[in-house]
């Protein structure tokens, strides 16, 4: 039997194991039915071509619901593939999923798509959409599906069929394009009106460099033209802020082909920004009661067998043989911190113990997944592990969350969204730890978020097996969310490593362990920070805080005095005395986003003043040298 609770609270029962969603939608009435583009049933997204089973509450989705964009974009990806099928009959089709802000489809074609190809494809997409393409869903047995796609030479579909459990697969037909697809899709292609093809890129099949290179077309779709226009404006702004472009233009950082993908080189100016980040964090560590440590970059594989990482993540690790003993280049810092904690047996009176490290780790990411500083193979985590007694959990979560918010605000982020990942209540047996421990941990996390009035989303079933977590997302200057800080409980590793403390009664008890990262990684945070500020870092973070510009050779002695006065007060200052016109040198400082310029000529030298130019403001007046120096020093001290 299927039992459906409708939006008005009434229930309907069906005397069969599965019911088509289209039949359930009929219960909503003509007007509601016409507005429905898909449904949530029991919290699961479904289209009108699928079925529902069991019991659940039905929530019809309109085009202004966030989940409806997923349906719209999924179907738009099939229309894109339809257009490519017509224009490039020999194309082989891989996958075409919706993603956060659009969708893509991967194709195997003889030659990479050109900008002209993209324009032709987009024109054909819009022509197809005017036809209101019919959409059908069928369930085929695997033998039929293999025969169909083998006849068409679609090798990637055959690979995918082999990965799908069971004896059947679902097939969606949009217009004349037949695809292996789990769904869900929009109820009608007539709703798809505002589609834009954005770019092409190479992408290895399954992200594996040993597999064929495919051509990926990125695109997006919206229900309203105004939403599409706003998105394209944001995209243009994001392109100007791309940290990869700015990293090179401002001489901050780069990834060198000679060294390999995903390995970051910090240039002198970028190293200054990194140094400021680390100095601030380390001072906060000491103030907040953390103990700083260093752990080796490699360790015997046995350590990672104990932790369980070798069993589950071996393919993501760099391995090496040392005199017949297998070693691992460390992919995470947790086991090292546990070994340091275990050097002695702590009493409950000595807890909590907060161990922190700026620990560089290495992960064997596929080359197709690498992306500037945001996805790399070598990165430094601001990693900390808190070892505490159960009764200390609420205060330690408060402590960690306060630290996270304080740090993010210091670096200029003031809008946050929080996700609370908890276990699936229907499957408690798949998680490490007891029911009591999970209840305590989830409550500690949720209460901490609520106390601060933060908007948060409770993510049922999204916790990993070893514990619940808080993920803090920041909203950047152009409205993009970025996941940064994490506070994660771990009921698994303390038991694997037999990590204990002595309780008040003298007995040994398992310690509670909390993973905590605030930047996430230095590299990724730097990439996000660069884009947030468009390279124009606040004065306290800027690699060069002031450049001194002598107008003439006669002004050089005073210019040096200005430079020295700033340097002696800790200001990062440079002199630009090149034999170029002053306008050229001013423009160069503006291009490099220097916060202040001190322009000095013979008059300024005679009067002991500087003509000050400020970034984004131009000339702001003439100031006595000491007053100007104090102004910058105060600004830096205030974190501006």
Residues identified as active-site = 334, 363, 381, 383, 385, 469, 515
259 with 253: CB under 8 angstroms? Answer: no
51 with 25: CB under 8 angstroms? Answer: no
What DSSP state is assigned to residue 549? E
Q: Which has the closest alpha carbon to 412: 525, 488, 495?
A: 525
Give the CA distances from residue 430 to residues 165, 369, 489, 607, in Å, rounded to whole numbers and listed in that order: 20, 29, 16, 76
Torsion sign over Cα 441, 444, 445, 446: positive
Q: Which has the closest alpha carbon to 80: 219, 213, 181?
A: 219
488 with 465: CB under 8 angstroms? Answer: no
**H/E segment holding residue 597:** strand 596-600
Alpha helices in 16-65 (DSSP H): 21-25, 30-35
**H/E segment holding residue 266:** strand 264-266
**Cα 602 to Cα 551: distance, rounded to the nearest angstrom:** 8
Provide the 3-class DSSP secondary structure of residue 51: strand
512 with 485: CB under 8 angstroms? Answer: no
**H/E segment holding residue 483:** strand 481-490
82 DSSP β-pair partners:
none
Q: Tokens in use for 614? A: 């400020």
**Cα 106 to Cα 93: distance, rounded to the nearest angstrom:** 6
List, in sequence order, every beta strand (DSSP E) within 98-151: 98-99, 102-108, 135-141
Q: Which has the closest alpha carbon to 195: 225, 151, 175, 165?
A: 225
Mark 23-57 as b/e (b = at least 16 C-beta within 10 Å).
bbbeebeeeeeeebbbbbbeeebbbbbbbbeeebe
Place of tokens 């996941």: 483
Query: 102: burial class by Cβ within 10 Å (0-12, 13-18, 19+)?
Result: buried
193 with 125: CB under 8 angstroms? Answer: no
């Amino acid at each position: 039997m299927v039992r459906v609770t409708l939006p008005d609270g009434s229930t309907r029962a069906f005397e069969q194991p599965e019911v088509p969603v289209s039949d359930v939608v009929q219960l909503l009435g003509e007007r509601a039915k016409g507005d429905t583009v898909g449904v949530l049933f029991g919290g699961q997204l479904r289209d009108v071509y699928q079925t529902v089973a069991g019991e659940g509450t039905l929530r019809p989705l309109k085009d202004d619901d966030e989940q409806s964009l997923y349906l719209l974009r999924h179907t738009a990806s099939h229309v894109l593939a339809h257009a490519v099928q017509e224009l490039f009959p020999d194309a082989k089709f891989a996958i075409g999923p919706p993603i956060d802000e659009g969708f893509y489809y991967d194709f195997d074609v003889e030659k990479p798509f050109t900008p002209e190809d993209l324009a032709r494809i987009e024109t054909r997409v819009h022509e197809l959409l005017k036809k209101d393409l019919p959409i059908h869903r069928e369930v085929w047995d695997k033998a039929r599906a293999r025969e169909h796609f083998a006849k068409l030479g679609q090798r990637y579909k055959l690979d995918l069929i082999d990965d799908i459990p069971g004896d059947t697969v679902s097939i969606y037909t949009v217009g004349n394009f037949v695809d292996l697809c789990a769904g869900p899709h929009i109820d009608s292609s007539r709703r798809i009106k505002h589609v834009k093809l954005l770019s092409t890129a190479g992408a290895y099949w399954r992200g594996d460099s040993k597999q064929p290179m495919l051509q990926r077309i990125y695109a997006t779709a919206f229900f309203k033209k105004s939403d599409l226009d706003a998105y394209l404006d944001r995209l243009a702004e994001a392109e100007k802020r791309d940290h990869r472009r700015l990293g090179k233009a401002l001489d901050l950082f780069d990834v060198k082909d000679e060294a390999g993908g995903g390995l970051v080189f910090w240039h002198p100016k970028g190293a200054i920004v990194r140094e400021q980040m680390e100095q601030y964090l380390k001072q906060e560590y000491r103030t907040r009661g953390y103990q700083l440590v260093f752990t080796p970059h490699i360790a015997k594989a046995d350590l990672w067998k104990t932790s369980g990482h070798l069993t589950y993540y071996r393919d993501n690790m760099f391995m090496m043989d040392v005199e017949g003993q297998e070693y691992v280049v460390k992919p995470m810092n947790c086991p090292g911190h546990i070994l340091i904690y275990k050097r002695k047996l702590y009493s409950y009176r000595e807890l909590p113990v907060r161990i922190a490290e700026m620990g560089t780790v290495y992960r064997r990411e596929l080359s197709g997944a690498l992306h500037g500083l945001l996805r790399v193979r070598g990165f430094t985590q601001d990693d900390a592990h808190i070892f505490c007694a159960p009764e200390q959990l609420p205060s330690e979560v408060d402590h960690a969350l306060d630290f996270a918010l304080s740090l993010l605000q210091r670096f200029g982020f003031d809008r946050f969204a929080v996700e609370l990942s908890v276990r699936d209540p229907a499957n408690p047996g798949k998680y490490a730890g007891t029911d009591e421990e999970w209840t305590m941990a989830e409550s500690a996390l949720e209460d901490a978020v609520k106390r601060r009035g933060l908007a948060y989303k409770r993510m049922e079933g999204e916790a990993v097996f070893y514990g619940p977590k808080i993920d803090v997302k920041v909203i950047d200057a152009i409205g993009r969310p970025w996941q940064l800080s994490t506070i994660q409980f771990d009921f698994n590793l303390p038991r694997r490593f037999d990590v204990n403390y002595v309780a008040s009664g003298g007995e040994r008890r398992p310690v509670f362990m909390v993973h905590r990262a605030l930047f996430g990684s230095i590299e990724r945070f730097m990439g996000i920070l660069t884009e947030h500020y468009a390279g124009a870092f606040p004065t306290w973070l800027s690699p060069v805080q002031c450049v001194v510009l002598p107008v003439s050779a006669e002004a050089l002695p005073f210019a040096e005095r200005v430079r020295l006065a700033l340097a002696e007060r800790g200001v990062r200052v440079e002199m630009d005395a090149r034999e170029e016109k002053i306008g050229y040198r001013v423009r160069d400082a503006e291009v490099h986003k220097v916060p202040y310029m001190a322009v000095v000529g013979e008059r300024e030298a005679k009067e002991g003043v500087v003509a000050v130019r400020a970034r984004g403001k131009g000339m702001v007046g003439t100031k006595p040298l000491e007053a100007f120096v104090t102004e910058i020093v105060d600004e830096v001290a205030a974190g501006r």
